[in-house]
Structure formats: C-alpha cells, structure tokens
Amino acid sequence: MRRVLLIGLLLSACSAMPERDVSLYQSLGEQAGLTRIVEGMLLNIAKDPRIVGHFANVDITLLRDKLVQQLCVETGGPCQRSGDSMEEVHKGLKLTRSDFNALVEDLIAAMETQGVPVPVQNRLLARLAPMRGQIIER
C-alpha cells in the first residue's frame, strides 16, 4: 500500500522544482549515504526482469556516478550537475510509465534496505517526481 502511495506521489507531482533542502541531503547520509542508495538501487535493477534490459549497454560505473551526483544536487548537497539534460539522456529510449514505476520501486527498496525513514523517502521522491515527464516516452 505504501509503495502505491509513493508511486502516486511521483505521478501527481507538479512540474516546478522544490526549493533546496540541505537537511534532506544530511538525512540521506550525505555523499556516502547517497552512494549506498544508488548502488543498492542498481543492484535491485540488475535483478529486476521488468527493466534490467534497459541497462544492458550502459556503463554502470558512469551511471552510478551520475545518479549520485543528480541525487546530491536534488537533495541540496554541495554538488553541481554536469552532462546532458534528462530529456537528452532518455531520448529515443521510449521508456513507459511501467518502466519508470519499476525503477522507483527499486529505489524505494534500496532506501528501505539502508533504513531511510519513510518521511525522508517521501521527501526525496517528491524532489525526483518532476523528472518523470523528462524521462518517459522520450
């Protein structure tokens, strides 16, 4: 039930980016915590038959580093985003809502494994929700 609620949060979020919240970065364990979450999510994806195929030809180390950087920026950490836009990165991939939701579920599972409290998970998901439109059906 909680997963449905969290996915619903992602699907209904507004397109404007929320203000920076340094406490979210700290609540997630700063750089080390974000790295553990991203690595856990990537391990979950590797076992997820729904979406693992989308990552077959991806440099996982580079992806990990870019995802950690992205989360650092989105959570108010001291990082700066570099590289192509979300639209450009996902252009031509034709990712569906189901693909997006599967990745969110893998992220939630990684945060649960790391012991991230649900309110903190929800704050992160709210920050990431506006990216949905930049990722799916591109």
Single out the residue of 126, 136, 134 nearest to residue 17, CA to CA.
126
Domain ranges of the chain: 20-135
- State pLDDT tens for residues 15-25: 334 445 569 99
Percent of the chain predicted with pLDDT > 70? 83
Top-confidence range, 13-22, 84-93, 117-126? 117-126
20-135: in CATH 1.10.490.10: yes
Cβ–Cβ under 8 Å, residues 7 and 102: no
Q: Is the pTM of this model over 0.85?
A: no
What is the pLDDT at residue 134?
82
What is the pLDDT at residue 14?
36
- State pLDDT tens for residues 7-65: 444 444 433 344 455 699 999 999 999 999 999 999 999 999 999 999 999 999 999 99
Confidence of residue 138 (pLDDT cuts 50, 70, 90): low
Whether 120 has a pLDDT exceeding 90, the answer reads yes
| Angle between helix 97-113 and 118-128 (nearest 10) | 150
3-state secondary structure labels for all residues of the chain: CHHHHHHHHHHHCCCCCCCCCHHHHHHCCHHHHHHHHHHHHHHHHHCCCCCHHHHCCCCHHHHHHHHHHHHHHHCCCCCCCCCCCHHHHHCCCCCCHHHHHHHHHHHHHHHHHCCCCHHHHHHHHHHHHHHHHHHCCC
